[in-house]
């Protein structure tokens, strides 16, 4: 079976969409954002399409309001059915990018982490390297483990902070996959170059 990964994060605006795009490039994978909340200024699927040249799989729910999915759906007058969220069939690898952090509510009774537990697909946790990342990363990993979610590893995003990047894997036993630096010029070429310099593609196959 082709490899499938779920990309989550320790917080919002960590950089997991850019990491997802880099992984889509590296694996020649398909991309799926189950729920998009907020469309003004462009969607995550559109960003990935621009950076990879692929056509993403359409979102299951596309919400106009930029908020947590549970609230965005209520404001938009939409009902999300978590049970209907199932990874789509596709040829080759698949990258699934969730919204926000692992404990973001999909509805008022279901969190993304609950859906990850049902899917039982390997999860990659994206974490910023800035102050607070140790606490946020450890809590995210603990929450996923509490639900028996398989964790493939942690990918850092930002400037190098060697101690933070070392202590989180030391405490948790989670594999450090690499660190994607912030790119001043973000293009398909610069993204591919940065990913190749800081990650091993073999860690994802």
Active site residues: 33
Integer Rg of the chain from CA = 16
Residue 30 bridge partners (DSSP) = 94
Tell me which long-range contacts 67-70 makes (C-beta under 8 A, separation of at least 24).
67/37, 67/38, 68/37, 68/99, 68/100, 68/104, 68/105, 69/35, 69/37, 69/99, 69/104, 69/105, 69/106, 69/107, 70/105, 70/106, 70/107, 70/108
Name the H helices within 15-158. 16-27, 44-52, 69-76, 112-119, 133-146
- What is the C-alpha separation between 13 and 59, in angstroms, rounded? 19
Q: How many helices (H) and strands (E) does the chain have?
A: 7, 8
- Residue 144: closest CA among 171, 176, 170, 118: 118
- Residue 103: closest CA among 116, 121, 122: 116
């Amino acid at each position: 079976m082709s490899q499938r990964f779920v990309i989550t994060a320790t917080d919002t605006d960590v950089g997991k969409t850019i990491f997802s795009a880099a992984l889509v490039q590296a694996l020649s994978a398909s991309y799926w954002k189950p729920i998009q909340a907020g469309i003004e200024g462009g969607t995550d699927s559109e960003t990935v399409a621009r950076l990879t040249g692929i056509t993403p799989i359409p979102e299951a729910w596309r919400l106009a309001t930029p908020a947590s999915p549970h609230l965005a759906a209520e404001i938009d007058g939409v009902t999300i059915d978590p049970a209907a969220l199932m990874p789509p069939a596709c040829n080759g690898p698949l990258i699934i990018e969730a919204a926000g952090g692992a404990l973001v509510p999909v509805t008022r009774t279901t969190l993304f982490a609950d859906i990850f537990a049902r899917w039982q697909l390997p999860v990659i946790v994206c974490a910023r390297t800035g102050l607070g990342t140790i606490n946020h990363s450890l809590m995210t990993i603990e929450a996923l483990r509490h639900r028996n979610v398989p964790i493939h590893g942690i990918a850092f995003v930002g400037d190098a902070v060697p101690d933070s990047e070392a202590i989180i894997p030391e405490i948790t036993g989670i594999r450090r996959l690499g660190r994607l630096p912030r790119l001043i010029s973000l293009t398909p070429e610069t993204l591919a170059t940065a990913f190749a310099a800081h990650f091993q593609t073999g860690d994802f196959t």
